Structure 1
């Protein structure tokens, strides 16, 4: 488990700072299987998890959903046969906050 996975996800305000270009490499290094991508000007973290069937994929999706509820921070979750795509970003700031990296690490710990 990474150091990020042990941190808490703090409530985020609309004026919370986005992750800076200087902070990004260190945070991304802690969740190396996640990709940072630009979705129409909004940076997001995305990772695809593979499973052997739909039942396993659905069970993982439910675990991610429970994790999100516990922390009050919710991703986009796409469940398909044999795979789940999870995307984290902070809606209030339209970009990435440290919370997104914390939640990505916590998601990794579920798999």
Structure 2
């Protein structure tokens, strides 16, 4: 199986691009540690949450995610709730569900060194998730 973080997202305007099934998504999920599948109505998404040290660190977190998203041409939904709760939802809006692009972007986000932005307790939890 090819490392998802080494792949590049494909343009989402392809007529052949279709949302994957929950079964297909569950096969790829182990390759993106810390992410979970979430269903909103009929839409399947990848979701992950972090706690950052401060509001400003949350904005920096989003800037770094934004750089990766722009490079891939694939953009997640970013949520900063309260002053330090960050959640990212990834799904392919144009098909109304998950595609391999979403897993590629999640893998690239997971590969970022964001430790100095995260709360210490959150970093410990994040490290335990990646050990599983």
So what's the TM-score if we normalise by structure 1?
A: 0.88
| CA-CA distance at 1:109 after TM superposition | 1.3
So what's the TM-score if we normalise by structure 2?
A: 0.75
Higher gyration radius (CA): 2
Structure 1 runs of 4+ off > 6 angstroms?
A: none
Q: Secondary structure at the match of 2:17?
A: coil
Aligned length: 110
Task: Give unpaired runs (5+ residues) of structure 2.
Answer: 115-132
Q: Secondary structure at the match of 1:32?
A: coil
**What is the Cα-based RMSD across aligned positions, in Å?**
1.7
Q: 1:2-81 counterparts in 2 under 5 A?
A: 3-12=3-12, 13-80=14-81, 81=83
Question: Would the alpha carbon gap of residues 40 and 14 (structure 1) be closer, same or farther in structure 2, given more than 3 Å must change?
Answer: farther
Distance 1:15 1:7 in 2: 19
